[in-house]
Amino acid sequence: MKEVATVCARDCYDTCALIITLDEAEQILSIKGDKKNPVTRGFTCPRGARDHERLYNNRVEAPFLRQGDRFEQTDWNTALSLVSRKLGEILNEHGPQAVLYLDYAGNTGLLTGAFPQRLWNAIGATQTDWALCSASGHEALSLHYGCSYGTTPLELLSVNLVVFWGFNAAVSSPHMWALARQARKSRGTRIVVIDPRESRTATDADLWIQPRPGTDVALAYGIINYLVQNSQVDLDFIKEWTHGFEELKVEASKWTPERTELITGVAWKHIQELGEAYGNLEPSATMIGIGLQKCDQGADQVRAVSFIPALLGLHRGFFYSNGDSFSINQRLISGRALADRAPRIVQQVALADLAKHREFKLIYVSGMNPAMTLPNQNDFREGISSREVFVVVHETHWTKTAQYADAVLPAPTYLEKDDLVVPWSHNYVQYSNGAVRPITDSRSEIWVMQEIAKRLRLTEDWLYEDPWEAVGLALQDAFEEGSLESLRSGAMLKLKRKPRNGYPTPSGKIEFRSSRAVEMGSNPLPTQTPLGIPKGNLILLTSATPKYTSTQFQEVYGAIPAVVLVNSEDAERLSIENGDIVELSNDRGEVKVKATISNTVPEGIVWSPRQSEGLAGKPQNCLMSSNPQEIGRGPRFNSTTVTISKH
């Protein structure tokens, strides 16, 4: 037997360092967390532990081309010749704006995700703003702090209060959850969870606060008002490091106990309890979940919540994402800094509208399953089904998107190639070794990119550059000690982080009253907007479950369950019984699912596992709006309203 050290390349908070154990025939026996990594700590999630099972299930074995309603296997030369010819024709006839490179974070390795963008930057193809997941939260924090980085996971071991705000960490980030629980055991750290539903994290919290969805601005202002009124803010810190406190204080004063209770549905005694915890249990860490900003009020919710640590005298005492604290030249790796023209950027959340209206003649998909994950699926699928659009998918597995393609190209998984994965929560990095030889006739994203470039007769030298040389240049000043060569020799390094007290805002301080927001035409302070729930509708919440990363791992664990959790009061009113088949519907579509009666969701709210497919084959995301948020252009998934009826 032998062991191989690698890093999970999935888009996840934890970015686990893994130890792969192989038998004499180089078959994977097990995948375990690496004990040497202080965040991974020797364990991994149910997905990582069974990742090797995906190697042999539902793989794209070879290149395939569509012939009418079916696919025919072909060879790489034939497939790439067709793709390159189509691409060249469309560039000549319609220009690069008619070509869409649609990528995302299905594999976050620098060689898998970033470097292959060079082809598309060279030809000036249309790209997206990558706003589908977390962009509104990033923009929200940047309005007040200049950028979005904050506390790190290991700092949870040295705080006295951890608040998971809209963050089901027990499922989405089991390592951060383990660190918080260790702090509770070793030093008495108190864990507070703020979530509209009784999540796995809420069940094990010391205090669970349950606001109505979309009312977190009001909740945050209520807490801020409590802190100000009870002299539990750090006035010296506020004077030295912040701007706009007086305006914030005036706004917060409007959120009396009565008004805050009325809007949020949270009893004031619970808000007071959290305010006392913030004021007395110093230092604290406020962990802002990505899900908090996926609604109509999303960006403003993140803005308001982030103010609390600053009022307590903490430099960036929140966590959202730490990717922008590192000094890595991503623009160099992707070729954006090398190209002689800037690409057209379209809104990822609004792609269904563009696809329906045939904005693109060729769509090349990599590292994404957009026929499941984008909102307003009926319109998106109508667009990519058109004979006017040539769809190419470079993918490891036969995803739903691959089934819509005209050309499907097989890609290797992260277990079948070397790469470098940069985390976005912690700063521990190590080389990602391929554990096994490719088991299909797959080719890497870089190989495919360069082969297409050759067929298009592109002459830019940087298209054919050795990718590791490019990565080495991009990482020149990235580490506290060591270099890329240290990583390739097996070392684990720490990325340098920008200073916690650095605020690249116009004032150079934390701006409670954002001057950038004023320039953008947005409110300088967060605003609690009305929920706007149509009469007879319920709010549909969706979130991650332990066995799936986005739509991945259905090859291992089966289909994402097509179920909906309904409160007993709503079920009685609608004459729905446990196990009934029900239809969730709105003006965008309808999805059939099985009802489960559960008071883990409050009255007026239903919950389903994220990105599931209904019993009749309709995707959950056909119900979701493709209208982006104003701040950050992120999605509004958790403001979706539906009617529910027995089928």
> For residue 595, what are its two tokens?
């009802």
* Residues 270, 181: Cα–Cα separation, whole Å: 22
> For residue 482, what are its two tokens?
């060591």
* Residues 554, 93: Cα–Cα separation, whole Å: 40
76-94 and 445-455 are packed helices; what angle lies between their axes, rounded to 10 degrees? 60
> For residue 108, what are its two tokens?
């976050």
| Assessment of whether the complete model's pTM goes beyond 0.85 | yes
Q: How many CA atoms lie within 13 A of 619 on its CB side?
A: 21
**DSSP string across 428-467:** EE-EE---S--SSS---HHHHHHHHHHHTT---GGGSS-H
Domain boundaries, the chain: 2-56, 64-132+328-494, 135-320, 538-646
- Is the peptide bond preceding residue 174 cis, with omega within 30 degrees of 0? no
* Residues 229, 259: Cα–Cα separation, whole Å: 16
* Residues 594, 596: Cα–Cα separation, whole Å: 7
Residue ranges in the chain modelled with pLDDT below 70: none
Domain formed by 64-132+328-494, architecture: 3-Layer(aba) Sandwich (3.40)
CB 37 within 8 A of CB 426: no
pLDDT value of residue 506 = 98
- Would you give the DSSP letter of residue 343? P
**To which H or E segment does residue 619 belong?**
none
In three-state form (DSSP H/G/I as H, E/B as E, the rest C), the secondary structure along 322-346 is CHHHCCCCHHHHHCCCCCCCCCCEE
Domain 2-56 CATH class label: mainly beta
Report which of 327, 309, 281 is spatially closest to residue 150, judged by C-alpha positions. Answer: 309
Rg (CA), the chain: 25
**DSSP string across 510-576:** EESS-HHHHHHTS-SS-------PPTT-EEEEEE--TT-BTTBTHHHH-SPP-EEEE-HHHHHHTT-
* Residues 364, 390: Cα–Cα separation, whole Å: 8
Rounded to the nearest 10 degrees, how much is the dihedral formed by the CA atoms of 447, 449, 450, 455? 120
pLDDT value of residue 542 = 98
CATH hierarchy code of domain 135-320: 3.40.228.10
Rounded to the nearest 10 degrees, how much is the dihedral formed by the CA atoms of 218, 224, 229, 233? 180
If you count DSSP H runs as helices and E runs as strands, how many of each does the chain have, helices first?
23, 28
pLDDT digits (tens, 9 = 90+) for 232-272: 999 999 999 999 999 999 999 999 999 999 999 999 999 99
* Residues 431, 422: Cα–Cα separation, whole Å: 10
Domain 538-646 CATH class label: mainly beta
pLDDT value of residue 447 = 98
| DSSP reduced 3-state for 311 | helix
Residue 322, beta-bridge partner list: none
Alpha-helical segments (H) within 361-496: 370-373, 377-384, 445-455, 467-474, 484-488
Report which of 79, 102, 99 is spatially closest to residue 409, judged by C-alpha positions. Answer: 79
| DSSP reduced 3-state for 100 | strand
pLDDT digits (tens, 9 = 90+) for 587-638: 999 999 999 999 999 999 999 999 999 999 999 999 999 999 999 999 999 9
Cα–Cα distances (Å) from 322 to 253, 292, 422, 500, 647, in that order, read 32, 17, 11, 11, 45
* Residues 106, 119: Cα–Cα separation, whole Å: 19
pLDDT value of residue 401 = 98
